[in-house]
Chain A
């Protein structure tokens, strides 16, 4: 009975496959089921033809669509990707439109404007696909293209933010998997080597050692199991501990005891003291009294606006001069 149901089921599936492969060329009536290598093509008008019909009808490189009489070029025929040729057409149009309407979200001040813009784009695509107001829409597109030439040029190379995010994620994924693959490969190799070494050691010992073979074998077994546990441990060590949702590392206990006090002398600031080996340097407020200020240019009102006084420059010059003295 089981065999019979199976047969019945496969029959049903067969029928389903036939239905699925019911797509065919509207002109020569060949279907995918009868000719599995059938290739359906679609042009800008969204009507299907099979490859051989295209070859036959468009020998001269151009002609009219059999169904809607639109003038078509042979070079514009594409392989039909989707079951519904209208979608092929729409995607084709959409790609063209998006090449021109390529403003990004950051070109707009508010989200609302951006959304309105998106809707406008969608309207254009919709009109072109469904042949509503084609002429007017095309004019509109040209107008837009003229008006926004530089933005279009500029945005050509730029991806939208979301696409950037996606690219980044993909990159991360790739790197992660590559790294993991390498790690596991290395790990395996290391283990293999260790095991081989162990085996070789046993053979050597059996050759050289005077101990009875049984003892040696037992020793070897012991060593092998040790190696195993070591590998096991390594595996656990290599992997970083996982973090809980709370951000606390796994397997780590949180200690609530206060941090122990460190018994050390605290740092104390001591002012810098430089020995100039000469007479004491006059302080800033002494400069005028000692007559140093007589030898520098008095500050103009423009200079003083920024907080400059002639004393500052003088003081620095005096300091420079005094620190140049060396004991003889």
Chain B
């Protein structure tokens, strides 16, 4: 189908388009026209991805000088693959319609673990091992050694790529991870480095958030992307947490012990090299004295060790004299390490800001701010000089050096919290130093600054205005789209009371209340009797779920539920959970139906879709507030209040509601799908909570569906399910859609 969107010819690979897709494209085009940033919300299952792709590709084709590249960031590998498949469909459609052979280059990029084809390296199980092994085969000095000593093993795929791969551009086309591997195998080139090299001139790049947001990775991968790129963050409702995680550092006693061994290794290596090859150290020293930047040519493979974001003017400066020679630097690291060890030997919680920390460190071990700032850079240089191949072992010392650099670079937006033990186990000493980032805008600022358009989009972004505030940017468009439906296929209900009129809530004071737990049990029991196929129930936390399930068992509720459906439980163990999930789906396929008990913010709530009969009802037991007693959270809330004028309660409610919306949104994954959304807490009925739900859910919340009892819920659900059970004819939607199309084309 061809569309005319404000004068832009857009090819859309489907025969029908939903009105909301049309308006989504419209907003998107305006954002691109304005060369600004946008925040767009559209429910999942309405074809967000294809709308995005077809509009931006059309824009690229129409104005090749205005938008040179699309960078599409997604969260997981399956999602990346899905995007590439949609793109393939679109490009095929283009080729069919225009008759011109596709000249676009689009590719997916992932970690070495997913792209490596070296038989030995790719058989390793963990990402870190793969990276380390790869580094030990491809680092520039290893390759230099290989020249003089051919028995030194190197990766022949990389050698091949390095020899010819750069001159021959990868032919245009759509490459997902498997395609890249195939291509690499055919040519004998390393797909990972090929992809990393090819993103520089690709038209479309699909990769994970971290390649842009994590400063340690972004520096290597995305450094040279052009300003005229459009960046899309899909499923971005958690983007602030990703930003924060990428800048935070946690240091435990174990990290320090490992770091200690690293330091010893360094020391030994230095003294060994001094005896055998002192010229090497002298050469490094000379370079540092002259403040020369490393020549970046042919160093592509070394940058596994990278430094966190630093202001450029510091990088231009020479390394301070006190850490110039290798011995001095090792001594410096040792002092820093001992200082950290001493700090971790505490009996009460300490919270301080970065300046306080720096002052204390100067008083205790005479470490200035400046050498600290250069710590990561200096360590990188040293490791390279010492030619230590097995870099994976040095993760601890690298982490410490990153911490040193970050703590001395940023005086604001970070806090240091040292806890002697975990909250749950106050008797067991397990000291942790959290260097916690509180300001997500620090990590994402370079992205907004560098690219002309950044689009943040997801199915659940409400309330929209909070994202620009916490990420500190100025969007030109903010829009929330709802779903147009041929039939009301979602039915949100807020259950506030049990049949005995006791209020149902997971509020802290009443969560242990016997009546509340019984009512929750009754609700699940009643629903299990009337809902066909699968039911997914979400609790607020693992502990709460354990408590409730235990007392349901004692009350015999569990047994009654099991008469209707099988019960599966999500646990903290990933393998167990995926097993439970598999069996749950099997039970749903068998027609008997099943119940999956899981936890908001858990694995199930974030990445797993329950299409059609896998999820006919979602029950949200309680409001999924984050654990408010955590000190890191408290510090962050305080920071938000001071810097962004966002009150604690507003943020907590916002956070709880986005997770609740994320959970209940799992059931509706398309327009032919249908499902009940039951919010079992009386607090959902309040305007401040209800108002923070996405618009497409709010629209279906009538006054009649607030504060219901269990009986009323059952009645409404029965009615809804009976309606949905009527044969659904595509014709109704079709007439509606073609009518819309006529209007549009006229």
Neighbouring A residues of B474 by C-beta, 8 Å: 244-246, 248
Contact with A along B412-437 (1 / 0, CB 8 A): 00000000000001011110000000
Bound form: Cα–Cα A245–B37 in Å: 13
Taking a contact as CB atoms under 8 Å apart, the answer to whether B335 and A117 are in contact is no
Within 8 Å by CB of A162, from B323, B324, B353, B368, lies: B368
Bound form: Cα–Cα A120–B369 in Å: 19
Within 8 Å by CB of B429, from A17, A115, A180, A242, lies: A17
Closest-CB distance, B353 to chain A (whole angstroms): 6
Taking a contact as CB atoms under 8 Å apart, the answer to whether A245 and B473 are in contact is yes
Taking a contact as CB atoms under 8 Å apart, the answer to whether A111 and B335 are in contact is no
Taking a contact as CB atoms under 8 Å apart, the answer to whether A112 and B355 are in contact is no
Closest to A163 in B: B362
Whether, in the assembled complex, B334 has its beta carbon less than 8 Å from a beta carbon of chain A, the answer is yes
Taking a contact as CB atoms under 8 Å apart, the answer to whether B429 and A13 are in contact is yes
Closest-CB distance, A175 to chain B (whole angstroms): 13
Taking a contact as CB atoms under 8 Å apart, the answer to whether A112 and B318 are in contact is yes
Taking a contact as CB atoms under 8 Å apart, the answer to whether A115 and B289 are in contact is yes
Within 8 Å by CB of B358, from A90, A160, A166, lies: A166
Bound form: Cα–Cα A240–B644 in Å: 10
Neighbouring B residues of A217 by C-beta, 8 Å: none
Taking a contact as CB atoms under 8 Å apart, the answer to whether A169 and B428 are in contact is no
Taking a contact as CB atoms under 8 Å apart, the answer to whether B364 and A91 are in contact is yes
Closest-CB distance, A36 to chain B (whole angstroms): 11
The dominant DSSP class at the A interface is helix
Taking a contact as CB atoms under 8 Å apart, the answer to whether A118 and B322 are in contact is yes
Taking a contact as CB atoms under 8 Å apart, the answer to whether B331 and A119 are in contact is no
Whether, in the assembled complex, B642 has its beta carbon less than 8 Å from a beta carbon of chain A, the answer is yes
Taking a contact as CB atoms under 8 Å apart, the answer to whether A91 and B366 are in contact is yes
Question: For window 1-51 of chain A, which residues contact chain B by CB distance below 8 Å?
Answer: 10, 13, 16-17, 20
Bound form: Cα–Cα A83–B344 in Å: 11
Taking a contact as CB atoms under 8 Å apart, the answer to whether A166 and B359 are in contact is yes
Taking a contact as CB atoms under 8 Å apart, the answer to whether B448 and A83 are in contact is no
Whether, in the assembled complex, A250 has its beta carbon less than 8 Å from a beta carbon of chain B, the answer is yes
Neighbouring B residues of A111 by C-beta, 8 Å: 317-318
Question: For window 111-131 of chain A, which residues contact chain B by CB distance below 8 Å?
Answer: 111-112, 114-123, 126, 129
Contact with B along A258-298 (1 / 0, CB 8 A): 00000000000000000000000000000000000000000
Taking a contact as CB atoms under 8 Å apart, the answer to whether A119 and B328 are in contact is yes
Neighbouring B residues of A244 by C-beta, 8 Å: 468, 472-474
Given A119-B324, A245-B472, A246-B474, residue A82 in contact with residue B338 (CB < 8 A):
yes
Neighbouring A residues of B322 by C-beta, 8 Å: 118-119, 121-122
Question: For window 352-382 of chain B, which residues contact chain A by CB distance below 8 Å?
Answer: 353, 355-356, 358-359, 362, 364-366, 368-370
Taking a contact as CB atoms under 8 Å apart, the answer to whether B369 and A173 are in contact is no
Whether, in the assembled complex, B725 has its beta carbon less than 8 Å from a beta carbon of chain A, the answer is no
The dominant DSSP class at the B interface is helix
Taking a contact as CB atoms under 8 Å apart, the answer to whether B469 and A250 are in contact is yes
Neighbouring A residues of B425 by C-beta, 8 Å: 10
Given A115-B289, A169-B355, A244-B472, residue A162 in contact with residue B645 (CB < 8 A):
no
Question: For window 106-127 of chain B, which residues contact chain A by CB distance below 8 Å?
Answer: none
Within 8 Å by CB of B355, from A10, A16, A20, A173, lies: A173
Whether, in the assembled complex, A84 has its beta carbon less than 8 Å from a beta carbon of chain B, the answer is yes
Taking a contact as CB atoms under 8 Å apart, the answer to whether B318 and A160 are in contact is no
Question: For window 172-194 of chain A, which residues contact chain B by CB distance below 8 Å?
Answer: 173, 176, 180
Neighbouring B residues of A81 by C-beta, 8 Å: 342, 364
Closest-CB distance, B638 to chain A (whole angstroms): 9
Within 8 Å by CB of A122, from B318, B328, B334, B356, lies: B328
Within 8 Å by CB of A160, from B253, B335, B368, B445, lies: B368
Bound form: Cα–Cα A98–B368 in Å: 12
Taking a contact as CB atoms under 8 Å apart, the answer to whether A176 and B642 are in contact is yes
Closest-CB distance, A267 to chain B (whole angstroms): 40
Taking a contact as CB atoms under 8 Å apart, the answer to whether A82 and B642 are in contact is no
Question: For window 286-305 of chain B, which residues contact chain A by CB distance below 8 Å?
Answer: 289
Given A162-B370, A180-B642, A244-B473, residue A119 in contact with residue B325 (CB < 8 A):
yes
Closest to B449 in A: A245
Could you jot down 11 A-B contacts, CB within 8 Å? Answer: A10-B427, A112-B318, A115-B320, A118-B322, A122-B321, A169-B411, A170-B355, A241-B645, A242-B644, A244-B468, A250-B469
Closest to A169 in B: B355
Neighbouring A residues of B328 by C-beta, 8 Å: 119, 122-123, 126
Whether, in the assembled complex, B631 has its beta carbon less than 8 Å from a beta carbon of chain A, the answer is no
Taking a contact as CB atoms under 8 Å apart, the answer to whether A91 and B317 are in contact is no
Neighbouring A residues of B365 by C-beta, 8 Å: 87, 91, 94
Taking a contact as CB atoms under 8 Å apart, the answer to whether B430 and A83 are in contact is no
Neighbouring A residues of B449 by C-beta, 8 Å: 245
Whether, in the assembled complex, A239 has its beta carbon less than 8 Å from a beta carbon of chain B, the answer is yes
Bound form: Cα–Cα A152–B744 in Å: 82
Closest to A82 in B: B338
Taking a contact as CB atoms under 8 Å apart, the answer to whether B324 and A95 are in contact is no
Within 8 Å by CB of B341, from A82, A120, A246, A250, lies: A82
Count of chain A residues near B, Cβ 8 A: 49
Given A10-B428, A118-B321, A166-B355, residue A239 in contact with residue B645 (CB < 8 A):
yes
Bound form: Cα–Cα A36–B321 in Å: 41
Neighbouring A residues of B473 by C-beta, 8 Å: 244-245
Bound form: Cα–Cα A90–B366 in Å: 10
Taking a contact as CB atoms under 8 Å apart, the answer to whether B338 and A242 are in contact is no
Beyond A83-B341, A114-B321, A166-B369, list 18 extra A-B contacts (CB 8 Å). Answer: A13-B429, A20-B429, A111-B318, A115-B321, A118-B321, A119-B322, A120-B321, A122-B321, A122-B322, A162-B369, A163-B359, A166-B359, A170-B355, A173-B355, A176-B642, A242-B644, A244-B468, A245-B472
Closest-CB distance, A158 to chain B (whole angstroms): 15
Taking a contact as CB atoms under 8 Å apart, the answer to whether A245 and B448 are in contact is yes
Neighbouring B residues of A84 by C-beta, 8 Å: 334, 338
Closest to B370 in A: A162
Taking a contact as CB atoms under 8 Å apart, the answer to whether A87 and B335 are in contact is yes
Closest-CB distance, B445 to chain A (whole angstroms): 7
Closest-CB distance, A87 to chain B (whole angstroms): 4
Taking a contact as CB atoms under 8 Å apart, the answer to whether B469 and A242 are in contact is yes
Neighbouring A residues of B411 by C-beta, 8 Å: 169
Contact with B along A88-108 (1 / 0, CB 8 A): 001100110010000000000
Closest to A20 in B: B253
Taking a contact as CB atoms under 8 Å apart, the answer to whether B338 and A116 are in contact is no
Bound form: Cα–Cα A119–B448 in Å: 40
Neighbouring B residues of A169 by C-beta, 8 Å: 355, 411
Bound form: Cα–Cα A95–B367 in Å: 11
Question: For window 166-198 of chain B, which residues contact chain A by CB distance below 8 Å?
Answer: none
Question: For window 310-350 of chain B, which residues contact chain A by CB distance below 8 Å?
Answer: 317-325, 327-328, 331, 334-335, 338-339, 341-342
Bound form: Cα–Cα A111–B313 in Å: 14
Bound form: Cα–Cα A114–B362 in Å: 19
Neighbouring B residues of A115 by C-beta, 8 Å: 289, 318-321, 324
Bound form: Cα–Cα A180–B643 in Å: 12
Whether, in the assembled complex, B441 has its beta carbon less than 8 Å from a beta carbon of chain A, the answer is yes
Neighbouring A residues of B359 by C-beta, 8 Å: 163, 166-167, 170
Contact with A along B456-475 (1 / 0, CB 8 A): 00000000000011001110
Closest to A236 in B: B645
Taking a contact as CB atoms under 8 Å apart, the answer to whether A87 and B334 are in contact is yes
Bound form: Cα–Cα A240–B645 in Å: 8
Neighbouring B residues of A94 by C-beta, 8 Å: 365-366
Taking a contact as CB atoms under 8 Å apart, the answer to whether A173 and B353 are in contact is yes
Neighbouring A residues of B289 by C-beta, 8 Å: 112, 115
Taking a contact as CB atoms under 8 Å apart, the answer to whether B334 and A116 are in contact is no
Neighbouring A residues of B472 by C-beta, 8 Å: 244-245
Bound form: Cα–Cα A44–B362 in Å: 20
Neighbouring A residues of B334 by C-beta, 8 Å: 84, 87
Closest-CB distance, A308 to chain B (whole angstroms): 54
Neighbouring A residues of B321 by C-beta, 8 Å: 114-120, 122
Bound form: Cα–Cα A163–B365 in Å: 14
Bound form: Cα–Cα A173–B369 in Å: 18
Neighbouring A residues of B335 by C-beta, 8 Å: 87, 90-91
Neighbouring A residues of B353 by C-beta, 8 Å: 170, 173
Bound form: Cα–Cα A242–B647 in Å: 13
